[in-house]
């Protein structure tokens, strides 16, 4: 027994702990109906994890944590502090970050400070600017793609996210009309730019045929922005009048879940083989916790991280300390999941 750690003969917390067990026993009952069947639980094959998560090579950077800050907000005083907290968390935990729409910076630097976070996040982590497909189409039409280069340069970003949002633009009172298929706009942009490009949706995800077209383009990554998280079509309806809301509310229920899109990508890899040029994915949309993210990363047969927006926002708008604590728990949860939970 000499080689074993000695167990104290007295435990000052024992009495209190045992009393807690008695008082909380009934509250701790778990119904089989709520059993999470995504995982096989293997309690005897590993010890408690003590090492950091393995780093992942993603977007030509080394991320220490497989979490992506999905594009959220910008251009307001409140947004500055939220994004500053998120950027600092990315530096602390080794995560990647996509900014919210940077449209305002295409014409003016008035709100530059609300997006200018490279000095906080550091050079080691991926950091991407963001514009909408309608703005991209207009820049192409007016031969002003240099504005995207200037945007990326002044933010010291690694590249540009193109968010594709035809339903949001249709429902938004101030929305822009999309006059050609977004895939054509993206192809034209890729033909004329040297920027690294990520393409994402805004809350309803991509169907299989859209993914089929996207994965055959030389883009850095696809972000799911699947159904189940923040849905910008619904958000725009909430901003509009009651009659419009009633007429179009069912649109918000159309889309694809992150799990469904994971299946599509796996199928497309088998169907397309070497024709696939985009080989990295950000799994986002309805990722409520580390188990959701871990499960889908395990199921997706390609390099991936998982993205969160509102789950991070609720802490980032309060304080950096609360955000830091939330992420600490997520990372510890990921380590636990990797040790004991096997995706079925």
Taken as a whole, the chain contains a residue count of: 344
305 by Cβ neighbours in 10 Å (0-12 / 13-18 / 19+) ranks as buried
pLDDT recorded at residue 240: 79
Token look-up 């089989």 returns 32
DSSP assignment letter at 92: H
One-character DSSP codes across 120-156: HH-SSS-EEEEEEHHHHHHHHHTT-THHHHHHHHHHT
One-character DSSP codes across 58-74: ETTEEESS-EEE-----
pLDDT recorded at residue 4: 47
pLDDT recorded at residue 211: 98
pLDDT recorded at residue 230: 75
Please give the structure tokens belonging to residue 291.
Answer: 């188990």
The Cα–Cα gap between 56 and 64 comes to 6
3-state SS string for 1-26 = CCCCCCCCCCCCCHHHHHHHHHHHCC
If one looks up domain 62-343 in CATH, what number appears?
A: 3.20.20.70
pTM for this entry:
0.91
Low-confidence residues of the chain: pLDDT under 70: 1-10, 15, 17-31, 33, 73-76
Which phi and psi angles does 332 have, rounded to 5°?
-65, -35
Tell me if 125 sits within 8 A of 61, measured CB to CB. yes
**Span 171-226, pLDDT tens digits:** 887 888 899 999 999 999 999 999 999 999 999 999 999 999 999 999 999 999 99
Beta bridge partners of 40: 342
Output the CA–CA distances (angstroms, integers) from residue 335 to 75, 122, 278, in the order listed.
36, 25, 28
Tell me if 306 sits within 8 A of 292, measured CB to CB. yes
Beta bridge partners of 58: 61
**Span 117-128, pLDDT tens digits:** 999 999 999 999
Domain spans in the chain, listed from the N-terminal domain onward = 62-343
């Amino acid at each position: 027994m000499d080689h074993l750690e000695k167990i104290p003969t007295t435990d000052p917390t024992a009495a209190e702990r045992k009393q807690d067990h008695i008082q909380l026993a009934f509250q701790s009952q778990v119904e089989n109906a709520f059993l999470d069947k995504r995982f096989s639980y293997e309690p005897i094959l590993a010890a408690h994890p003590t090492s950091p998560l393995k780093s992942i090579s993603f977007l030509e950077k080394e991320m220490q944590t497989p979490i992506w800050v999905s594009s959220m907000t910008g251009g307001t005083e409140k947004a500055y502090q939220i994004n500053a907290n998120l950027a600092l968390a990315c530096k602390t935990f080794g995560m990647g970050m996509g900014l919210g729409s940077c449209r305002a910076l295409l014409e003016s630097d008035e709100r530059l400070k609300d997006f200018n976070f490279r000095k906080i996040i550091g050079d080691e982590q991926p950091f991407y600017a963001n514009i909408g497909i309608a703005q991209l189409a207009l820049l192409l039409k007016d031969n002003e793609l240099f504005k995207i280069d200037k945007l990326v340069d002044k933010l010291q970003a690694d590249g540009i996210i193109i968010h594709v949002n035809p339903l949001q633009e249709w429902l938004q009172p101030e929305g822009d009309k999309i006059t050609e298929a977004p895939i054509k706009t993206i192809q034209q942009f890729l033909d004329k730019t040297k920027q690294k490009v990520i393409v994402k949706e805004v809350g309803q995800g991509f169907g299989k045929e859209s993914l089929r077209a996207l994965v055959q383009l030389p883009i850095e990554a696809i972000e799911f922005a699947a159904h189940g998280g923040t849905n910008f079509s619904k958000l725009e309806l909430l901003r509009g009048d009651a009659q419009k809301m009633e007429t179009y509310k069912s649109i918000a229920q159309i889309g694809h879940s992150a799990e469904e899109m994971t299946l599509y990508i796996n199928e497309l890899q088998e169907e397309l083989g070497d024709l696939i040029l985009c080989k990295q994915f950000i799994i986002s949309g309805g990722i409520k916790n580390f188990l959701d993210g871990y499960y889908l990363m395990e199921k997706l047969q390609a390099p991936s991280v998982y993205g969160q927006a509102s789950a991070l926002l609720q802490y980032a708008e309060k304080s950096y300390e609360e955000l830091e604590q939330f992420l600490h728990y997520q990372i510890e949860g990921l380590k636990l999941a990797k040790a004991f939970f096997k995706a079925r």
